[in-house]
Structure 1
Amino acid sequence: MNIVECNIPGPLIIEPRVFGDERGFFLETWNAAAFAAAGLDLTFVQDNHSRSQKGVLRGMHFQNPGAQGKLVRVVRGAVFDAVVDLRRSSPTFGQWAGVTLSAENKRMFWVPEGFAHGFLTLEDDTDFLYKCTAPYAPQHEASLAWDDPAVGIEWPLAGLDIKLSAKDATGVPLADVKAFA
């Protein structure tokens, strides 16, 4: 696999080796030894799967306490995936990184603990999978405002009718986030 660093330290784009021919393809999406050898010695406790229509924006979610690291990928459709550094002691606090993930490019994205995470679906019936290092804890879940100008995520919004959940529509600005140490 190929690991690509982002513009801020922590999140990583992972490009797995894909073996394909006229029959289809094969790729390894998780191998504990291979990931550990690449510096990602992780233990996952929960797998999640969501399906969304084009224009659905989910995020920017995080849990504090109970931070989750997430290994995310798309198996059908496409998303623009984004993270925001919420580690107050980090020199990149409040900065964001983003990547397009799709069934076609087969990329994965590592979202470390201490980051808010969200995605915008770019195609109908997009299936988004993610492995988590900590269980979902709704009592500790929070949302950073997806459109906070202090963060300035450059979402590819052209031609999309954005659909938000009630929870995501009430995300708080970076200045009001309960940040990590």
Structure 2
Amino acid sequence: MNVEPTALPEVLRITPRVFYDDRGRFQELWNHERYAQAGLPVCFVQDNLSWSRPGVLRGLHFQNPAAQGKLVMVLSGAIFDVAVDVRIGSPTYGQWVGEHLSSENSLQLFIPQGFAHGFAVLGDQPALVAYKCTHPYRPDCERALVWNDADLAIAWPDEVVEPILNPKDRAASTLRQLERSPGALPQYDASPVRQVRSA
């Protein structure tokens, strides 16, 4: 597999090896040893699976405390997957990166702790999205950043105009509002960034 940094270096784009033959194709979704060799976290404790209709947007979500790192992959359909650095003091605070993930391209995105995450379903088919988490879901720690925060200026695909949102995401806060809420945002840890390599 190939592991490479995105425009936000701590967010990683992963291209797994896919094997094709007359029957179809085969790939590993996650392999403890291979991901460890590539410098990726292997301490996942929870697997989530979401099925979303066309036009749905989920996010942008993060936990503080009990921050979650996530390994995101699409089993069916296509999404535009977004990560936003919400760590106060980070050199990339308030910056975002987006990737097109689909069952066709098999790409995965690793989103570290301290980043808000969300995605929009693309096309006219539902999306089945799986993601592994480094910390269990804690509803008491869940935070939401509004998807269309003008200061973030996320360049969602043109088809994402009036997405289907749940009430909590529709009422989510802007980053500036979260800054004014004590304890809402995580602090940046300046520990050395892990070294990643293809495996």
Normalised to the residue count of structure 2, the TM-score between the two structures is 0.88
In 2: Cα distance, 1:157 partner to 1:128 partner: 21
* 1:101 match: 101
CA contact (8 A) 1:55 1:160 kept: no
In 2: Cα distance, 1:167 partner to 1:157 partner: 23
* 2:137 match: 136
Matches within 5 A, 1:85-124: 85-123=85-123, 124=125
In 1: Cα distance, 2:163 partner to 2:66 partner: 29
CA contact (8 A) 2:114 2:186 kept: yes
For residues 125-149 of structure 1, what are the alpha-carbon distances to aligned partners after superposition, in whole Å with 9 as ceiling and x for unaligned? 2100000110000111010011001
* 1:166 match: 167
**Cα 1:39–1:170, aligned 2, differ >3 Å: closer, same or farther?**
same
User: Does 2:185 align with 1:179?
Assistant: yes
Q: CA deviation at 1:41?
A: 3.1
Matches within 5 A, 1:68-83: 68-83=68-83
* 2:196 match: none
What 5-or-longer segments of structure 1 have no aligned partner? none
User: Does 2:127 align with 1:126?
Assistant: yes
Amino-acid identity (%): 49
In 2: Cα distance, 1:165 partner to 1:29 partner: 29
CA contact (8 A) 1:15 1:106 kept: yes
The code of the aligned residue for 2:20 comes to G
Secondary structure of 1:72's counterpart equals strand
Secondary structure of 1:157's counterpart equals coil
Normalised to the residue count of structure 1, the TM-score between the two structures is 0.96
